[in-house]
């Protein structure tokens, strides 16, 4: 049983999930220092409108997104198994 599923979320996914995220220029931050020094988009003075989330909040959001998707995938696999599909058939669908 493989269930080869793309299930990786990036820091950009986590950032974009905040309602007040505007955007930034450059590479995705990998450290707190890089996050604190993000360059706002042209014509903007900030990366977020209003309160900027703490780095730990961004990392937590990334984990939450992955956990949510993992649950959805597991629920889908369980439903396919209840329908009597084999692991190979489930792999082909997923």
Mind listing the pLDDT tens digit for each residue in 44-88?
Answer: 999 999 999 999 999 999 999 888 777 777 777 778 778 887 878
10-37 core/surface letters (b: 16 or more CB in 10 A; e: else): ebeebbeebeebeebeeeebeeeeebee
Instruction: Please tell me what DSSP assigns to residue 22.
Output: -
Longest dimension (CA), the chain: 55
Mind listing the pLDDT tens digit for each residue in 13-31?
Answer: 999 999 999 999 999 999 9
Question: Which structure tokens are listed for 93?
Answer: 């669908």
The span from the CA of 35 to the CA of 70, in Å, is 26
Domain ranges of the chain: 11-93
Say what the pTM is. Answer: 0.70
């Amino acid at each position: 049983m493989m269930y080869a599923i793309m299930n990786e979320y990036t820091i950009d996914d986590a950032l974009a999930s905040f309602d007040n995220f505007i955007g930034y220029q450059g590479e995705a931050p990998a450290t707190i220092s890089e996050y604190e020094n993000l360059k706002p988009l042209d014509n903007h003075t900030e990366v977020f409108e209003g309160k900027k989330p703490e780095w730990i909040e961004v990392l937590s959001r990334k984990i939450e997104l992955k956990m949510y998707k993992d649950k959805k995938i597991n629920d889908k696999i369980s439903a396919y198994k209840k329908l009597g599909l084999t692991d190979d058939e489930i792999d082909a669908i997923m």
